[in-house]
A and B are shown apart, each in its own frame.
Chain A
Amino acid sequence: MSALPWSVALWLFAIGFYGMITSRHYVHLIGCLSVMQSGTYVLLLSAGFRWGAGPPVFADHPPGTPAVDPVVQALVLTDIVVGAAVTALLLALALQLHKRRGTLDPEELRPMRR
């Protein structure tokens, strides 16, 4: 149990990577990238977890009550924004490339080699 989240994060990394190297379509590949990204969410959030502690929001319980680590939650928020930003940019690139090449198979899209 104590190693579960670390194993899950590792698994998400591995399965996402497998999807990326075997991908036949860029949109699928971008999805796999997001799966890998989820691995980092799991890792960070688990690193700040504490049994029997509440949320780090002292709205309905006073400051001083045991709470989990707010820092990792803030880091994950940044991480999510990174993910959203990069995904948007990647999808835009893929969309524009599809118009020019008519395909999104990574094997056929090779810069400067035709």
Chain B
Amino acid sequence: MISSLPPLAAAGPILVAATLLALGRHLPGRVPDVIAIVAALAVAALGALMAFRAGDGVLLHWFGGWSPREGMPIGIAFQADVAGSVMVALVGILFVASFVFAWGFFEEVGVQFHVLMLVFMAAMCGFCLTRDLFNLFVWFEVMSVAAFALTAYRLEASALEGALNFTVTNSLGSMMMLAGIGLLYARLGRLDMLALGEEAAKAAGDPVIPGAFCLLAAALLIKGATVPFHLWLADAHAVAPSPVSMVFSGGMVAMGVFGLARLTWTVFAPVEAVTEALHAVVLWLGAATSVLGGMLCLGQRHVKRMLAFSTISHTGILLMGVALLSADGLAGTLTYLVGHGLVKAALFALAGVLMARLGGIDEIGLRGRGREIWPARIAFAAGGLLLAGLPVGLMEEGATLLDAAAGAESFRWVILAVPIGAGLTGAAVLRAAGRIFLGWGKVDGEEEGAPSEQEAEKANRPLPLMLAPVAVLLLLASAVPGHLAEEAAQHAASAMMQPGIVPAPVSPGEVPERLPLGWMSLSLALLVAGWHLGRHHLPAILSNGVQALTAPVFAGLERLHSGVTGDELVWILAGLALLSLGLWLA
């Protein structure tokens, strides 16, 4: 149905940002903070309202009133379905949390941070709601530009280097996206995604369409930090200011996966070459991302970098749900995405608390120093347990749905990447919690290899103000009743898939037994974290033997993440080659 709600999510924050910029320093004191929080709250409420209304049918809005003429779409449409609206609500919640957490974060009172963040928020909302392919690119690019600037905000050398790598790799991504759009336009002559899907169905045998998919998918996988497109992420997310990292890891990365799901189901679903390749290649890329990200996460001692790698690992899980090409898989991805976004934002806020309160972010250097901030300990442990698959809340529900979807696979064990990734990342977070807050896990030669750069954030902010958003985020992620979430997610997934042609479900004969993914990953996490924290109590021969076996693997993985722009670009090319081989061989 036609609705005037969808444009508000993007245009509203833009108007606020422009006004803030124009009035600039004439605004007194904390007024920009308040305005930004109100704007983000409004977006969250709008997202919830649209999700509620979209249950009866998508909310459509043709900008400028340019509805299609004689079947030819000539304008731009926003189409809010349940999934897109929930994403808008998630983005709003993350930004509210981030703005509250950032209250008083920056010494000088200026509006630039708020302007950039509001533009960033508007871009994410536009990205989730648009139905036009080029408009999708515009919001993708606005999102990127705001993110580049926010990454460099602290202006330390590391932040600038991280931002440069981020900008170069992601700009390459947006060029690939534009090239993909150019190919589709040259072949199909449309930009509206639904119309493109209809035209693609008529031209299914044309090699230009898989070629375009290859470029578009590569661009979105760069944003979604999938192996081997992921090398930029750990640096960018680790060097950005904590309030910004919250939104990056909680929201921006998920946009890559969401965009891929959107494109797959609106444009490419009728093209068999594409769906087969997606299923064959991206599913395994997702599994590899989950496992490798988990291992890299475990190898870190810089807490924010550790959390960044855990984001990579969990994006792999999200991607698997998309590549499973079923309603359950997509529903699992959507549920897991929301749950992970909330939990990860809370964990990055806690990393910010460490930087503000303890003046450091090195897990080993801070050993035992977090004892006096016990509320943070509880929150940190809760975040770690949720990440590790504690069977409550949204992430658990998502994993269950993914497992159900994988049950229809010929090789269902691929789903084991989910507990491995979740378990390893959970183990890393629990290990950090044990070290920092309880003083466990003594390490010989603590000072060696410690990050040399001063890593402190502004300290004189009240602790309750910083912990309140954390508590709300964790509560939201864990307290939503599972069956409600499942119902909503399945509704959202089937609405999102509707435009495309749903492939006939592979009937597996009998439904295989569900795997207890949550318990599997939780026990893995506790085992690994316990090993790391209690290793020095074990016989030296056992402890050193395992160390000798695993150390080269971790060192090798770390060496691949050299931080050199050229390496990151070459791996992107390799990933593109992998996708294209998959498309031609599938």
Contact = CB atoms under 8 A, between A and B. Distances in A.
Per the CB under 8 Å rule, do A and B touch in the complex? yes
A112 B162 contact: yes
| Dominant SS among interface residues on chain A | helix
B302 A112 contact: yes
Interface string B125-165: 00000000010001001000100110010011111111111
Contacts of B203: none
A33 B171 contact: yes
Nearest to A45: B182
Contacts of B163: 93
Contacts of B230: none
Contacts of B179: 9, 13, 39-40, 43
Q: How large is the interface on A (under 10, 10 to 19, 20 to 34, 35 or more residues)?
A: 35 or more
Interface in B168-211: 168, 171-172, 174-175, 178-179, 181-183, 185-186, 191
A40 B563 contact: no
Contacts of A106: 564-566
A83 to B, nearest CB: 9
Contacts of A85: 145
B175 A40 contact: yes
Interface string A57-94: 00000000000000110010011001001100110011
B452 interface: yes
A110 B164 contact: no
A112 B451 contact: yes
A29 B145 contact: no
B174 A110 contact: no
Given A33-B168, A33-B171, A43-B179, A21 B570 contact: yes
Contact of A112 (B168, B305, B564): B305
A8 interface: no
B138 A72 contact: no
Given A40-B179, A40-B182, A93-B164, A33 B172 contact: yes
A17 B145 contact: no
Contact of A111 (B181, B239, B570): B239
A47 B155 contact: no
B562 interface: yes
B453 interface: yes
A82 B158 contact: no
Given A37-B175, A79-B178, A20 B164 contact: no
Contacts of A47: 182, 185-186
A17 B183 CA distance: 19
B430 interface: no
Given A43-B183, A72-B185, A111 B565 contact: no
A69 to B, nearest CB: 9
A96 interface: yes
Contacts of B220: none
Given A20-B172, A97-B157, 12 more contacts: A39-B175, A96-B155, A96-B160, A97-B160, A97-B164, A100-B156, A111-B159, A111-B161, A111-B165, A111-B238, A112-B162, A112-B239
The 3 A-B residue pairs whose C-beta atoms are closest, nearest first, are: A110-B563, A47-B186, A111-B161
